[in-house]
Amino acid sequence: MTPQTKTLKVLHYLQAVRLEHGGVVRAVLDLGATLAGRGHEVTLVTVDGRDAPPEWSKPTPAGEQRRVPTLVAISRSESLRDQIKPFVEQASLVHLHGPWQRQNLVVAGLARKLGKPYVLTPHGMLDDWSMSQKPIKKRVYHALFAKGLLERAAFIHCTAQAELDQAKRWFGRGRGVVLPYVVNFSAFATLPGPEPARRLFPVIADDRLKLLFLSRLHIKKGVEALIDAAALLKKQGPDFTLVIAGPGDPGYINQLKQRIERLGLAGQTHLVGLVSGVDKTSLYQACDLFVLPTSQENFGLVLVESMACGTPVLTTRGTDIWREIEAGGGIVRDANPATIADAVRELAADRPALAQRGKGAREWVMRYLDVDALLDQYEAFYARALAWKG
């Protein structure tokens, strides 16, 4: 917090703090933690806080300034309005997450009644691909509820211009602003090297080109296109190992295994499940190229994590930060198997250049997502919201 910045009292409402829900939860946790570390008062209200840091639930000793957010777990069975009202009253402003949660209507209505501005981060839920899923249901809900929720917000916060370009058609008179997620890169400051991952997964200990997919296993992530691209690479080269890491629905994982078997890739393609902590960081480092042929990501935390580990990335325009990824040396292509295979083949032709691309990606992402610089921007963003007269 700069000397000119007043202490903010920010209330986040997030229905569930479950890391399995992906980037949304990680983004809220990292933003809350870094803001609190600057001396701001951050409160996170949720009905399910099982994956929040345990210290957030502990009281601060008398006489000490609190440097972590305060976690407030409320009951599903009692009135949300009654439970959250005291925290809205104490807040300077409210930060909501997602346009489709009915609970956000309650919190936003209470904030307006109490004269507190609110901002809303859609987290990619207004992207074209997202809006094409269950479109009738979403359009009806938007017309009845979400349009007003969005237009009455002080700001709609998007993480990239590409996200704002898609989202703005849904909030009419509302005001959009672009700010990247704050990502806590402390775990990436000193990297563990590839050896922990090589010991854990001996299949990546040789000199073959190593491709990595690490994300939730879901149809929108494009893992099937990647497997099909691997089949083309097996026929045409180069020699490779593909590691697919991440959790997913057991039925879908079984379908992926069958696809791998059918295409004759069992010896080169390995589903390794959830990988986390130091093992995950090391796995990024142990691979030559991270591939995420996704249909939709508003930010793609795994992409910037890979870049922070010095591993170059190949992704699609389905990632809203694709322009930023390209600026950092990432490769952006269409999400079809032939195009993916061609890009991998082209990059693999010069392995030293590929490694150098990864080094540049790490340098770039550490500049682009510098936490202190971003927190300055978030402080200014919240100050503008507080000054808004809606």
**What pLDDT is stored for residue 251 in this prediction?**
97
Shared domain for 166 and 94, answered yes or no, is: yes
> Is the pLDDT assigned to residue 161 strictly greater than 70?
yes
Return the DSSP state at 48: B
pLDDT at 200 over 60: yes
pLDDT at position 175 over 80 = yes
Give the domain range for residue 169.
9-185+370-387
Is there a single domain that holds both residue 281 and residue 222? yes
- pLDDT of 2: 54
Mean pLDDT value of segment 237-261: 96
Judge contact between 32 and 69, C-beta under 8 A: yes
Identity of the residue numbered 28: V
pLDDT exceeds cutoff 80 at 278: yes
- pTM given for the model: 0.93
CATH number of the structural domain spanning residue 195: 3.40.50.2000
Q: What is the pLDDT of residue 288?
A: 98
In this prediction, residues 28-42 reach a mean pLDDT of 96
Supply 131's token pair: 């809006």
Count the domains in the chain.
Answer: 2
Lowest mean pLDDT among 181-190, 314-323, 340-349: 181-190
Q: Examine the domain organization and report whether 336 and 236 are in the same domain.
A: yes
Q: Indicate if 307 and 271 belong to the same structural domain.
A: yes
Helices (H) and strands (E) in the chain, counts: 16, 13
**4 has a pLDDT exceeding 90:** no
Nearest CA among 103, 112, 105 for reference residue 80: 103
Give the model confidence (pLDDT) of 41-92 as tens digits.
999 999 999 999 999 999 988 888 899 999 999 999 899 999 999 999 999 9
pLDDT of 191 above 60: yes
Q: Give dist(CA 147, CA 160) in Å, integer.
A: 21
- Please indicate, yes or no, whether residues 242 and 379 belong to a single structural domain of this protein: no
In a domain, 311, yes or no: yes
Whether 386 has a pLDDT exceeding 60, the answer reads yes
Q: What is the pLDDT of residue 353?
A: 96
Residue 308 has pLDDT above 90, yes or no: yes
Looking up tokens 């849904």 gives: 170
Q: Per the domain annotation, does 2 fall within a domain?
A: no
Closest CA to 22 of 123, 134, 119, 129: 123
Q: Decide if 374 is inside a domain.
A: yes
Q: pLDDT exceeding 90 applies to what percent of the chain?
A: 91
**pLDDT at residue number 19:** 77
Q: Is position 177 within any domain?
A: yes
Look at residues 110, 115, 112, 111 and name the one whose alpha carbon lies nearest to residue 79: 110
Read off the pLDDT of residues 320-364 as tens digits, 9 standing for 90 and up. 999 999 999 999 999 999 999 999 999 999 999 999 999 999 999
pLDDT reported for residue 5? 66
* Mean pLDDT calculated for residue range 295-316: 96
Q: Let me know if residue 1 belongs to a domain.
A: no
pLDDT at 162 over 60: yes
Q: Are both 224 and 176 inside the same structural domain?
A: no
Looking at the fold, whether 31 and 156 belong to one and the same domain comes out as yes
Mean pLDDT of 18-24: 78
Q: Taking phi first (over 0 means left), then psi (-120 to 50 degrees means alpha), and beta for anything else, what does residue 314 get?
A: beta
Does residue 3 sit within a domain? no
Shared-domain flag, residues 304 and 205 = yes
The enclosing H or E element of 344 equals helix 337-348
Residues 23 and 105 in one domain: yes
Distance CA 94, CA 6 (A): 16
Predicted local confidence at residue 245, as pLDDT: 97
Claim to verify: residue 320 and residue 383 sit in the same structural domain: no
* 321 or 173, which is more confident: 321
Condensed to tens digits (0 to 9), the pLDDT of residues 69-81 reads 999 999 998 999 9
Q: What is the largest CA-CA distance in the chain?
A: 68
